[in-house]
Amino acid sequence: MTDAEDIHWLPAWRLRELVVSRKTSAEEITARLLERISRLDRRINAFLTLAGDVAIAEARAVDRAIAEGRTPGPLAGVPVTIKDQFFTKGLRTTGGSKVFEDHIPEEDSVYVARIRAAGGVILGKTNTPEFGMYWRTVGLISGECRNPWEHRRTAGGSSGGAAAALAMGFGPLALGSDAGGSIRLPSAQCGIFGMLPSFGRVPRHGGFGSTMFFSSIGPMARDVRDAATLLQVLAGPMPQDPFCRTDAPPDYLAALDAGIKGVRVAWWDNTVAEGFSAPEVLSVVRASAEMIGTFGARLAPEPLRLDTDGVDEAWRILDFVDRRANLGEELERDPLRFAQLTPYAQTRFEWAAGVSGTEYSRAILRRARFIRSLEAAFGDYDLLLAPTIGITAPVIETDNMTQRIPALVSYTLPINFAGYCAASVPCGFVGGLPVGLQIIGRPNEEALVLRAARQFELAFPWRDMHPPEHLEAA
C-alpha cells in the first residue's frame, strides 16, 4: 500500500489494481480522498456537494463484490467526480443554479449509471457556473472555483471544478462537458488532460444545460490511459438520445501505445485568436507541437488556415436558443425563479428570445458549410494541432474578458461547431502557470487523438507536475 501522502496522485488504473488485488480497499481510498477534500477545498471551491457516507457505502459494496469473487468492472473502486450539471440519484444536483439549490434527482444520468455499473465510486459533484453558461466557474450558490496553481486566477469554465479537483489530487477521474471549450479550456488552465468526444459519441440524457448540436460529455484526468478507460465506459448508443451515434465505439485502449508514425498533421493558424493571445504562450505551445515529428508523424511545413468568419455568431444563435428552449423559456414563465438566475444566464435567455427563425436557419446553414470546409481540410491531414487557449489563466479580480469571449474560445468553439473531437494536453508552463496543446481529430477518431496525446504524455509527463505544496495547504 502506498503512503497516505501519495495515494491522491495515483492514476485510476493503479488504484484499480490495488483494489482488485486487495492490497488496499476502495473504502480506504475513498475515505482518504474525502478527508483531503474536506481539508483543502475551502480555498479552491472545486466541489458543490460531497457524497460523503454515500461514497463510502459505494466503496464498501465494491470491496464486498471483489471479496465474493465477482468480476470487477473497469473502474472497480476508482473515485470519480461528476460535474454538477448531471443527475445523481439521491445526491444533490444543482446545475450551479440557485433555482435548483435543493434539487435531489430521482434517477441517475446515463453517465453516472454507466460509471456506477463499471464499479466507479461517485465522490461528489464539482463546481460549475449556472447551467455551464460562463467561461469562469462562478455562480450564486458557492464561492468561485479558483486555480490550484495560483488562487488569484480562474480555474476556467465551465468544467472548472472538475479540472481544479484533478489538479489538487482530489481524485483521478472527472466527468465534464463541453459545448464551446468547457472541458478543454479549464484543462489547459489547470494543467490536466481533457477530451471533447465527437458529437453523438457519448449519449446525452439526464442533466441541465444540454444543447442540440454542440454539447459533448467527456473524460478529464491526469493520465491519458485513465481518460481512455472512462471514455470507453461512457461511449455507446442509447435510445433516449436521438442524436447519438448508433455504432459501437472502438476499443480506445487496444492501440493506445501504438504510436502515430506516418500520421499526417498540420498546425492551425487562427489569426483571430492570435491577435488576443500572449506570444510567450504561443511560443511554448508551438514548440511542443513541433515535437510530433520525433514521434514519426509528418508535420506539414505550412500552417493551415480555416474560414471561421461568422462561426462564433452562428454558434451563439444555435447554442443560446437551444438552451432557452431546453430550460430558459420555462424559467421565464416564473418571474420569481427567473429573478434567482445569475445575470449572465438571464442575459443569454433574454437575448435568445429575440432570435428570429430566419437567423436560426442561417446559423444552421453556416454550420453545414463550415463542416464541409473542415472535411476538405482534413482530406490532406489526420490531425490538427493548435493552442487550447492562447493565454494562461486570467486573474479573477482584473477580469476584462467578458467582452472578448469570441477570442477566448477561438481555438475551441469551432471544433464543437463542426462536431469534431479534440483533447487538451498539458505541454509546458509560462510564468509558473500551465498551458495546453489542442489535438483535433475527425468525428469518431477519438482513438487516434488519444494515441497522439499518449505520445505527448510520454515526452512530457505532466501527471508528475503538481501545484506548489504551500498553495495546497493555504
Q: Show which residues are catalytic.
A: 83, 158, 182
| Dihedral angle, C-alpha 236, 210, 411, 452, nearest 10 ° | -20
- Angle made by CA atoms 269, 302, 268, in degrees to the nearest 5: 25
Q: Which three cell numbers stand for residue 206?
A: 439526464
Rounded to an integer, what distance in angstroms lies between the CA atom of residue 321 and that of residue 217? Answer: 20
Identify whether 410 is preceded by a cis peptide bond (ω within 30 of 0).
Answer: no
Q: Please list, in sequence order, all residues whose beta carbon lies within 8 angstroms of the beta carbon of residue 117, skipping any fewer than 6 positions away.
A: 73
Inter-helix orientation angle 357-377/311-323, to 10°: 130
Q: Which three cell numbers stand for residue 266?
A: 498540420
CB-based contact 55:34 (threshold 8 Å): yes
Helix (H) or strand (E) holding 416: helix 413-418
Rounded to an integer, what distance in angstroms lies between the CA atom of residue 150 and that of residue 302? Answer: 36
Q: Which three cell numbers stand for residue 397?
A: 479580480
Rounded to an integer, what distance in angstroms lies between the CA atom of residue 255 and that of residue 263? Answer: 14
Q: Please list, in sequence order, all residues whose beta carbon lies within 8 angstroms of the beta carbon of residue 136, skipping any fewer than 6 positions away.
A: 129, 144, 154, 155, 156, 157, 160, 396, 399
Q: Tell me whether residue 425 is exposed, middle or buried, using C-beta atoms within 10 angstroms of its C-beta: 0 to 12, 13 to 18, 19 or more.
A: buried
Residue type, 350: E
Query: DSSP letters of 40-94?
Result: HGGGT--EEEE-THHHHHHHHHHHHHHHTTPPPPTTTT-EEEEETTB-BTTB---
CB burial string 275-309: b at 16+ within 10 A, e below: ebbbeebbebbbebbebbeebebbbeeeebebebe
Residue in 440, 401, 393 with CA at minimum distance from that of residue 418:
440
Q: Which three cell numbers stand for residue 50?
A: 460531497
**Residue pointed to by grid coordinates 488485488:** 21
Residue in 378, 372, 416 with CA at minimum distance from that of residue 263:
378
